Amino acid sequence: MKRQRGTFGKEKKTELARALSKLGFCSRSEATELIRTGRVRLNGAVRRDTETSVRLGLDRIEVDGRVVKAAEKVYWMLNKRRGIVTTAEDEQGRETVYEFLPKGAPWMGPVGRLDKASEGLLLLTNDTEWAARITAPESHLAKTYHVQIGAVADGSLLAKLENGILDGGEELKTESARLLRAGEKNSWLEIVLDEGKNRQIRRMLEACGVEVLRLVRVKIGTLELGDLAKGKSRELTREEVQMLEGTKHDRG
């Protein structure tokens, strides 16, 4: 797809760490480290305060003496493997999703998260405003998961998932839950969420006394994982990027 250049209004103000992220230079946590170690200059002066006000489009930001300009917007999807963490760096030395992106690719941040034990479709972009729009709770963008559980699912379990379960005082529910296939001791479910609370599916099933064996995200909105191999990534088409904003679930 043709990449889009970011543009910012002349009077748009933000904090310095956030500015580096919005410009597509690095993540906010990485920006914080750069600022605190004195590697960032604002209009020629070193700034160590991450909350320093910046006028995007007017102020000059430099990192290690190089001017930071708005990066071209890029949008990618990755088939995350199990055991890979969704962070730029890991203190425990575990593999991260960034090791599975093409060398030389611009910085991108994950759009939402998949925990270490989960697999499947993960979006990444340096367009922080687009990411915020499609992950906002009010977007109700449906996410579809295939979940293998250590039990044979029955109608009672599926009804509980759809009707809602209390966990730690928080109500959790699915948009839909259905049986895909079952064996003698386990089964596969298709679960659709239109909101993304932390570890929601695992928490719901654990509250029902059911073990999660595998959890794979196969679809976001109408964007499907398809035949993208594990550990592989590709750039989204312009149509796919626009489609993700145009397929928000209407709960009306």
Domain ranges of the chain: 9-67, 72-137+223-246, 142-220
Joined tokens for residue 144? 């579809």
φ, ψ dihedrals at 185, nearest 5°: -125, -10
Q: Alpha helices, DSSP H only, in the chain?
A: 16-22, 28-36, 128-135, 155-163, 200-207, 238-246
Q: Which CATH architecture has domain 142-220?
A: 2-Layer Sandwich (3.30)
Count of CB atoms situated within 10 Å of the CB of 178: 13
Joined tokens for residue 81? 């493997």
Residue 85 gets which letter from DSSP?
A: B
- Residue numbers in the chain where pLDDT is lower than 70: 1-11, 89, 247-252
72-137+223-246 folds as Alpha-Beta Plaits (3.30.70)
9-67 — its CATH code? 3.10.290.10
φ, ψ dihedrals at 74, nearest 5°: -130, 150
Q: What interhelical angle do 238-246 and 128-135 show, nearest 10? A: 40
User: How much is the pLDDT for 92?
Assistant: 79
The strand pairing partners of 188, in sequence order, are 148, 181
User: How much is the pLDDT for 11?
Assistant: 54
Q: Which of 64, 90, 115, 194 is catalytic?
A: 115
Mean pLDDT value across the chain: 88
User: How much is the pLDDT for 245?
Assistant: 82
User: Per the confidence metrics, is the pTM higher than 0.85?
Assistant: no
Closest residue by Cα to residue 31 from 44, 45, 16, 42: 16
Confirm whether 115 is a catalytic residue. yes
Non-local (6+) Cβ contacts of 1 within 8 A are 75, 235, 236, 237, 238, 241
User: How much is the pLDDT for 231?
Assistant: 94
